[in-house]
Amino acid sequence: MATAALDPKDVKIGPGNVDFASPDAVTPVVTPDVPNDDSVDEVQDGELKLPRMASLVVILLDNLLLQISFFIIVSSSNVYAELLGGDATFSGIVIGIPTVFSGIALLPVMRYDKGGYKLPLHISCATSILGHIFYALAYRFNQLYLILLGRIVGGVAFVMFMYCKRYCSDPRFVGIRRRTTLASWVVLTQGAGMTVGPALGGLLFKVAGGAGNGGGRVWNGLTAPGWVMAVVWALFWALATWLYKDEPTVTAPSPTPTPETVDEIELTALPEGLTHRLNASAPAAGEQLQVEATTPSRSASPTLPPPPRRSYAVAALMCWCAMTCFFVLGAWEANIPVFTANGASANGTQAGDEQSGLHLSPTGAGNFIALGGVIAAPLLLLNVSFAKRLQDRYILALGTGVGAAGLLVFLGVLGSGIQVGFAPLLVCWSAVALGFNVASTVTLSLMSKTLPDVVRVRGKAINLSARTSLAVQYSNYTGRVCGAIWGGSGVGVGMLPYVGLELGIVGVVALGSWGLWKDMKAKTG
């Protein structure tokens, strides 16, 4: 009776030297490698994993307080600076300077954080308290640059901006299908801070007596934001110390030399008259011949293929997009108090041919900024639900489209030569706040999905997760600093050039997205 021939594609003979006199002499019994359902479930669970809820809440609250600390002075910083001898441009520097020193402090903090988040969390709380105290004491000592010192010290706390974003996309405890969802919660707290901060600053300016209007040398409308936030940060520090715990770091055990697992192939006995050799010894008829099949070693380190080259182009585009979002948002937040207080013309002159007829007080400007955030907040909350179903590239296109529409409408109103009223400015500001906050949701999450977590360069494994979050955060810092300075100078350079530059920067995002649209496809969630 003829038996099935041994197909060399199915079985590869290992180190043993086996000679067969006839190709029909051996009948292999090969069991196919069927994937286990448990392993599939484990992969799916890994894509949906989340960090501890208490620690996640602490991180989100920290991001909220940082945003409030950044924006609480926006409505009154112009008055504060002018009272102590500064101008509107200096006010823009005061608003944007914290991110410069946050970027300087970020690398030293990363050197000692040991891959965790507890150290930067404590640094954030401590420096926030000191920074707000210095800011409040500037009026008491009549020192303009003490405002700057307070913002510089408080800027060290803003290193936590990067850690908040990295925490929500850390592959060690956040699955790939949960990164955009958590990033949308970060953006929601970002929008809430952008709303609460200016409103609270304007309210304190009114309630505490304003500058020289019933206020004292220590407590007044200009210093109250510093004192209030110092107390809030002290309370939060105690809460964070109690609730927050770093996620356990899983370290892979060092490989130990173990015998490799081999597949056993049962062979039929050779017919009489045929011989074989296996390491110079032949088993008796009826015995099982064990042949070493070539299988990948489980103890061997996996090879790490390099990511496609266009993935790095997507990463560069995400950095530009992150810079764009915070440049435009920072510029508008710094410009609105100046634009609505002094009035401005399209070519930069003031008071004569006024382009704005609002003339808002610091309290009114703060409430105006907050109102735009309140209008955008429900849609930002809806974005949390959309993030689970929409691809990141669609969220990016939707956000930049809405924000660009707000800029175009504002440019048209300015170009018409009529005075900008309350309603047109509010509509444009709401569109800008909503659009660019939504667009900033996907910058880090899309980059982390496009690039692998680890790459191997010259035989050394490099963690890309930390580097991508660092690149995005420095892009955010650049946008915040340049945007705040540009917004403070917008009235001086002219409102048409002011909006035109912002549209040009957004245009780069549109062109890059058009060219890399297929490469930006990633998993949802």
| Residue 464 half-sphere exposure toward CB, CA atoms < 13 A | 19
Is the four-CA dihedral 266, 269, 273, 276 of positive or negative sign? positive
Question: CA 61, CA 50: separation in Å to the nearest integer?
Answer: 17
CA distances 504 to 133, 283, 319, 413, 500, Å, are 39, 80, 16, 18, 6
Structure confidence at residue 124 (pLDDT): 96
Structure confidence at residue 435 (pLDDT): 94
Residue type, 106: L
Structure confidence at residue 23 (pLDDT): 45
- 3-state SS, 407-453, equals HHHHHHHHHCCCCECHHHHHHHHHHHHHHHHHHCCHHHHHHHHHCCC
Structure confidence at residue 254 (pLDDT): 40
Question: CA 48, CA 42: separation in Å to the nearest integer?
Answer: 10
Long-range contacts of 499-503 (CB under 8 A, 24+ apart): 499/407, 499/410, 499/411, 499/414, 500/411, 502/327, 502/328, 502/331, 502/407, 503/404, 503/407, 503/408, 503/411
Structure confidence at residue 134 (pLDDT): 96
Helices (H), 307-463: 309-342, 362-386, 392-415, 422-439, 442-450
DSSP classification of residue 518: G
Tokens 């210095």 found at: 134
Q: Give me 391's structure tokens.
A: 């691809």
- CB-based contacts of 349, cutoff 8 Å, min separation 6: none
Q: What is the mean pLDDT of each run of 10 residues along the chain (525 residues)?
A: 48 46 45 46 67 94 95 87 85 87 92 91 97 94 92 95 89 85 89 90 84 72 94 97 83 43 51 52 49 41 59 91 94 89 51 65 85 87 80 92 96 89 92 93 84 72 76 90 88 91 96 93 78
Structure confidence at residue 211 (pLDDT): 56
Beta bridge partners of 420: 356
Question: CA 399, CA 202: separation in Å to the nearest integer?
Answer: 28
Structure confidence at residue 214 (pLDDT): 54
On the 0-12 / 13-18 / 19+ scale of CB atoms within 10 A, 233 is buried
Cβ count near 422 (within 10 Å): 15
Tokens 């990164």 found at: 179
Beta bridge partners of 461: 456
Structure confidence at residue 390 (pLDDT): 85
Backbone torsions φ then ψ of 462, nearest 5 degrees: -120, 130
Is the four-CA dihedral 225, 231, 235, 238 of positive or negative sign? positive
Question: Could you give the angle at the alpha carbon of 72 between the alpha carbons of 67 and 77, nearest 5°?
Answer: 130
CA distances 35 to 31, 41, 46, 62, 443, Å, are 12, 11, 17, 43, 35
SS3 127: helix
Question: Could you give the angle at the alpha carbon of 52 between the alpha carbons of 51 and 53, nearest 5°?
Answer: 110
Domains and CATH numbers, the chain: 48-246 (1.20.1250.20), 306-524 (1.20.1250.20)
Question: CA 58, CA 308: separation in Å to the nearest integer?
Answer: 36
Question: CA 47, CA 464: separation in Å to the nearest integer?
Answer: 18
Structure confidence at residue 358 (pLDDT): 80
Instruction: State the pTM of this model.
Output: 0.72
Residue type, 161: F
Question: CA 433, CA 55: separation in Å to the nearest integer?
Answer: 28
> Nearest CA to 66 among 327, 245, 240, 246?
240
CA distances 457 to 255, 297, 303, 304, 452, Å, are 21, 22, 11, 9, 13
